[in-house]
Structure 1
Amino acid sequence: MYFLERGFEWSKSLMSYEEATEELNKKQRQPGQAELQAPEGVGESVSAAVYDNESLYTYNDTHIDIRTPNDEKRGVITIFLGSIYFMLFYTAVSILGISAAKFLTGLRNNGEALRGVDYFFLILFSLLCLAFFGFFLKFTFRFFCLESLTARRIIVRFNRITRKVYLLRPKHLGGIRIMDWDKTEVLLDKSMSELEGTGGFVILGWDRGDGVDLQGTRTDNFEVTFVGKPTRNASELLAFWEYIRRYMEDGPAAAPAPKKLLTKFPWPWLSFKAAWGLDTCFLRHTGLWVFVVVNILILPAILIHATGHWLSLLLCYEPRFPRVIEEAGR
C-alpha cells in the first residue's frame, strides 16, 4: 500500500534537492524518444470533456476531496501475516495454559507426580514459544504496518477559494502539505495514445518553496502527489484532469457534482469489489466475458484478498484535515 508515495519519499532520501536538480538538468532526450507534451500550467485545457472518474469523497462550492490510486492495493500482507500471528499466539497461549494447569495440579497425564525434569521442560517450552513469537513479531511487524495501523487513505483536497492543494498524508509519507495551485506542474502527456492511458492517474508536482507545512515552513524539496483511481484509457485520464482544472479555474458550474460520492465507511462489500477488480462495463462486450470466467475460477483467492482488504481498513484510522484547513475558504 502507498507504494508510489513510499517510493518517492525513498528517492528523496537518496540525494539532496540540488543533486536531484542537477541530475534532471543533465538528462537529455534520446534520439527517437518521444517528447512529453505536458500542459503549460493549470490554465491550459487538455480535453473538451470532463469526467469525475468516480474518485471524489467530497464536493461543494469550496473544495473537492479526491482519492489516490492506492485504495485497492492492500490486504494481502494483512491476511498473510495476521494469520501467522494468530497461529503463533494461539500456540503460545495453549502451551502456557497446559503448563499452568500442570503446575497447579502437580500431576502428569498418567496421574504420577511431576518431577524436576518435567518442570524444567514445561518452563522451557513456554519460554521458547514466547521468545519465537516475540522474535517473529519484531522482524515482521514493520511490514504489517505497511497497510495496517496507519492512515486508512491519502486525500488530496482542491480548494478553489484559497487556490491551494492540500495533501493529507501520514508523516512517514511526507506529512500534511499546503501547495500553491497556480504553481502546480501536471505530469501528463496531452498526445498520449488511448492505450497509454490504461491504468493511468494524474501526477502533480511542485518545486521547492511552492508550498508550506502546517507551521508555515516552506517546502525544501520537490513534492509529488498521485490523484484519482486508475483510468481505462487516455480520454478518461485527460477528462479527469480537465474536471479538476475547470473546478479550480472556472468553478463548480464547469465541473458538475458527480452522481455518487465515494464513502469512507469500510463496508465489507466494498472490499470485495476492490479485490474483485472487474470492470462491469466489460459485460456489454461478449468478447470480454472471458474475464468474468477467469475471476470466477479464482474466486477463493479473491475472497481471501477481500477479507484481508477489509481487515486492513478496520485496523487503520480515518485521517482528518486539521481545523485550520477545514475552515479555509469558508
Structure 2
Amino acid sequence: MYFVEWLMRRTLTASKEDITGFEGDMKQFEKATEKYGKQYRGMQERQVSDAPSDARSIYKMNDTYMDVRTFFDEWRGGVLLGLSPLLLGLFFFPVFILPEMTVALFTGMVPGAGRSVSVGDYVGIAGTWAIWLVFLAAFVYLFWVFRMECLVQRHIVVRFNRKTRKIYINRPNFAGGNQVYDWDDVVASVDPGDQVVTKKRKREILMLFFFKQRTGAEYHDVVFLGAPLRSDHELYALWEYIRRYMEEGPESIPNPKCIPRFPWPWRSLLAPWSFLENKWAAAPWSPRMIALVLIASPVMLLHALAHWCSLLLCWPVYWPRQLRRESTASEPV
C-alpha cells in the first residue's frame, strides 16, 4: 500500500551518491520545480470547476477541518498474498509440528507411536527446525516489505484546517512522516487557467506538491490525494471542493458523503472492483464485460479477502498529541 509513498520519499531525499548517473535528470527536475513554484503561485484563489465534488474521498468535515483520504488505499493485499506461504509456515510449524518433535527430542520417545526415536527421526527433527529457521530469517529480511501494508497505521490522512490555513499529513515515517505545510504553498496537479469539462473515463490522481523553494523545507514533498478518480473532470472537481472549503468555507460546497474509517468487509470488495470500474462503465452489461467479471471474480474475491486482512492487521490512524491539538485548532496557532 505504502510502496509508492516510500519510493517517492527515497527519491526526493536521495543523496548525491544515490543519484550518480542521474545528475542531469535531477537538475531538470529542480528547474521544473522552480518554474511551477512561480507559475502556480496563488492558484488557491482561482476556480477550476463549476461542480465541486467530494469524489468519495472525505473521511470527516466540520467548520474547522476536513480529512481527506489518499489514492493507494485499494492497492493493498498483494504483499500479504505474496508472503502468505511464508507466514503460514512461520506460524504453522511452531504451533502444530515443532512442539511434538521437541518433546520427542528430550524424551527419546515418539509421541503416539510408542517407540524410541531413531536416527532418521533425529534427522527429520533437525531438518524441520532448519526449515522453520529459514522461514524466520526470510520474514525478518522481508519485514520492511510486510510493513508496507501490515502492522502499520491503516490509512494516510491529509487534514485541511481552514482556520489555521495549514495542511497536516499523517503517514508512517518511512513514507514521509507527519508533515505540516501552509495552504498557500501547495501546488496541485491542475491547471488554474483551464476549466476542464470533459468526463472521459480514465484513472486519475490528484497530486499535491510542496516544493522546498516555497515551503522552506529541506526536501520536496508530494501526496497523492483522493479515491481512484474516474476522469480529469472528477480530479478538477475534487480540487475545487477542497479549494472552496479552504477559501470560502463548508457552506460553499455540498455536504460530503463521508467514507467510514472502520474496515467493514464489504468495503474491501470495492477495492478489486475499482480496477474494472471504468471498463464496466464504458460497456455495462455487455457480454464481453460480464465474461470478464466472471473470469476475474475468483481473483477479485481473493484480493478483497487479502485487502480486508491487511486492514485488520493495521491500527487506526493516531495523531500525536501536539499535532492533534494544532490540526483541530479553531484559530491560528
Distance in 1 (CA, whole Å) between partners of 2:108 and 2:293 is: 56
* Residue in 2 that maps onto 1:255: 253
* Residue in 1 that maps onto 2:311: 313
Whether contact under 8 Å (1:170, 1:176) holds in the other structure is yes
Which one of 259, 266, 270 corresponds to residue 269 of structure 1? 266
Distance in 2 (CA, whole Å) between partners of 1:327 and 1:293 is: 49
Whether contact under 8 Å (1:92, 1:126) holds in the other structure is no
Distance in 1 (CA, whole Å) between partners of 2:219 and 2:171 is: 16
Q: State how 1:84-233 maps to structure 2 within 5 Å.
A: 84-103=86-105, 106-107=108-109, 111-114=114-117, 117=119, 120-121=122-123, 123-189=125-191, 190=194, 194=198, 198-208=202-212, 210-211=214-215, 219-233=217-231
Distance in 1 (CA, whole Å) between partners of 2:201 and 2:66 is: 23
* Residue in 2 that maps onto 1:325: 326
What TM-score results when the alignment is normalised by the length of structure 1? 0.82
Distance in 1 (CA, whole Å) between partners of 2:31 and 2:201 is: 28
Which one of 299, 302, 312 corresponds to residue 301 of structure 1? 299
* Residue in 1 that maps onto 2:59: 57
Secondary structure class of the residue paired with 1:291? helix
Which structure has greater strand proportion? 2
Whether contact under 8 Å (1:55, 1:229) holds in the other structure is yes
Unaligned ranges ≥5, structure 1: 29-36, 212-217
Distance in 2 (CA, whole Å) between partners of 1:202 and 1:187 is: 6
Unaligned ranges ≥5, structure 2: 17-22, 34-38
Secondary structure class of the residue paired with 2:181? strand
* Residue in 1 that maps onto 2:20: none
Paired AA for residue 262 in structure 1: I
Do the aligned partners of residues 284 and 264 (structure 1) sit closer, same or farther apart at CA in structure 2, a change above 3 Å counting? same
Confirm or deny that 1:235 pairs with 2:233: yes
* Residue in 1 that maps onto 2:75: 73
Secondary structure class of the residue paired with 1:70? helix
More deviation in 4-13 or 52-61?
A: 4-13
- TM superposition shift of 1:121: 2.2
Paired AA for residue 203 in structure 1: M
Whether contact under 8 Å (1:198, 1:230) holds in the other structure is no
Give a deviation string over 1:207-226, Cα, whole Å, max 9, x none.
22755xxxxxx622212111
Do the aligned partners of residues 160 and 21 (structure 1) sit closer, same or farther apart at CA in structure 2, a change above 3 Å counting? farther
Whether contact under 8 Å (1:68, 1:229) holds in the other structure is yes
Whether contact under 8 Å (1:283, 1:289) holds in the other structure is no
- TM superposition shift of 1:95: 3.5
Give a deviation string over 1:190-246, Cα, whole Å, max 9, x none.
3778478721122111222755xxxxxx62221211111122112111111111111
Distance in 1 (CA, whole Å) between partners of 2:261 and 2:227 is: 15
* Residue in 2 that maps onto 1:7: 7
Do the aligned partners of residues 106 and 64 (structure 1) sit closer, same or farther apart at CA in structure 2, a change above 3 Å counting? same
- TM superposition shift of 1:167: 0.8
Q: Aligned pairs, how many? A: 312
Distance in 2 (CA, whole Å) between partners of 1:127 and 1:179 is: 52
Give a deviation string over 1:34-59, Cα, whole Å, max 9, x none.
xxx96852111111221110100001
Give a deviation string over 1:113-152, Cα, whole Å, max 9, x none.
335x357425523431332222221222222111111121
Do the aligned partners of residues 295 and 39 (structure 1) sit closer, same or farther apart at CA in structure 2, a change above 3 Å counting? farther
Secondary structure class of the residue paired with 1:232? strand
